[in-house]
Amino acid sequence: MNRRSAMRKSKRFFTLVEMIVAMAVMIFVALIIATASMTFYNAWQRTVRVSDRLKTCQAIDRIMENCIRNMIPFRWKDKDLDQERVVFKGEPDNIHFVSLRRAYRHDKGALIFIRLKVENEQLIAEYSQYPRFQWDEDESELNSYSREVLADRVRSVSFLYASEEEDELVWNDSWEEDLNLNVSVSNPRSATADSKRTFLIPIAVQMTVEWTDGRREVWLRRTAGNSKNTQLTT
């Protein structure tokens, strides 16, 4: 009886040990699976963030390449002043300009009027096939613009405009219009008469985007037409 009782106790003891070992193995395997799943999930999240960031940068780069690079000095008559003016307005945080584009059969024309600005932490591009002027911005006509959200989570956008003065490149945070000479010039107080007659729009435009997470990215493009010899008029 004692031998049988000892054998039964031994079987119970080894069964309990086996259960504990089995549970430990299961917990260990579960930890490995959980760790691997978390690693894969974090990698997927990083991939999504990088992909979204790449798409955003591509959208902004497309605007800079297709629109800023093809910017031209386009003139239109201001009826109030009874004179032609260059359709361009460059401010520190927004820009209004005219760009050439490829015209197709059913398009309204080869020109497009564009505005870039930030609204509600979004970088917005507004397009119009019809003439839109910085001196006659009627808020009731904003619906005539086609709007595209280029980027979200944008804290601010800033522009710099390049001109040439005395054979040196000068960057300005705004581009003003000199109505006396009927051309657009940057920093009209310091510009010479020759430079005023030469540069109707900036030689180049730099755009800096600051994101809500603190990142800053810069785009720079030279414009297509920046002298009095390349201007278009109505």
Residue recorded with tokens 């309990």: 16
Q: Which residues, at least 6 apart from 205, have a Cβ–Cβ distance to it below 8 Å? A: 68, 71, 90, 95, 159, 160, 161, 162, 220, 221, 223
pLDDT in tens, 118-150: 999 999 999 988 888 777 766 545 557 789 999
Within 13 Å, how many C-alpha atoms sit on residue 26's CB side? 6
pTM: 0.70
Q: What pLDDT does residue 94 have?
A: 95
Percentage of residues in the chain with pLDDT exceeding 90? 34
10 Å CB burial of residue 92 (0-12, 13-18, 19+) is middle
Report the pLDDT value the prediction gives residue 52, as an integer from 0 to 100: 81
158-205 confidence digits (pLDDT tens): 999 998 888 888 999 999 776 555 544 454 444 444 444 456 899 999
pLDDT at 108 over 70: no
For residues 106-126, average pLDDT: 87
Q: DSSP letter string over 52-110? A: HHHHHHHHHHHHIIIIITTEE-BEEEETTTTEEEE--EEETTEEEEEEE----TT-S-S
* d(C-alpha 143, C-alpha 65), whole Å: 26
Q: Name residue, tokens 């000479």.
A: 181
